Amino acid sequence: MTRGPEAVLEVQGWRIGPTRVLRLVGELDAYTAPVVRARLDAALLDSGAPSLIVDLTPLRFMATAGISLMLKLRAEITARQGGLMLVLPAESLPRRLFEVTGLAHRFAICETLEEGVAAFRREPPDRDPGATADGPP
């Protein structure tokens, strides 16, 4: 019996008002990234200026392919004048990967899904947390 990427990564998705939420459960690496990419594409198709929260809390493993995917997603959402929030608890392995690579400052990050939803209700996160008055870094 062959195991596909869906056997090691589950992508759950739902809406909270106008905001889409995707929760990744399992392992995000080069093998499973195409599954996530397909779900992200579907989530982005139906919104002009998307508001998206990606919950990485239940990930057991995340490789640099996951970071690359999140960078591409951030660029796409920024280009469409949308907002992206990543849920990365302080002590999680994915959060550590973002910090070690020096990319945590490039994303709007919250500790819990509830914080992310509350932040979007107040105001969507910065479209590009790394941007300056003169433009992107």
| Each residue's pLDDT tens digit, 43-95 | 787 666 688 999 999 999 999 999 999 999 999 999 888 899 999 999 899 99
CATH number at residue 70: 3.30.750.24
In a domain, 54, yes or no: yes
- CA angle 91-5-86, nearest 5°? 35
In a domain, 92, yes or no: yes
In a domain, 15, yes or no: yes
In a domain, 46, yes or no: yes
Question: Which residues span the domain enclosing 25?
Answer: 8-122
Burial class (CB in 10 A: 0-12, 13-18, 19+), 16: middle
State the total domains in the chain: 1
In a domain, 136, yes or no: no
Q: Which two tokens stand for residue 125?
A: 């996160």
- Res 6: pLDDT: 77
In a domain, 137, yes or no: no
Pick the residue with more confidence: 127 or 39?
Answer: 39
pLDDT category of residue 130 using cuts at 50, 70 and 90? very low
Question: pLDDT (tens digit, 9 = 90+) per residue, 4-34?
Answer: 777 889 999 998 888 899 999 999 999 999 9
In a domain, 134, yes or no: no
pTM of the model: 0.84
Phi, psi of 105 (to 5 degrees): -70, -15
In a domain, 131, yes or no: no
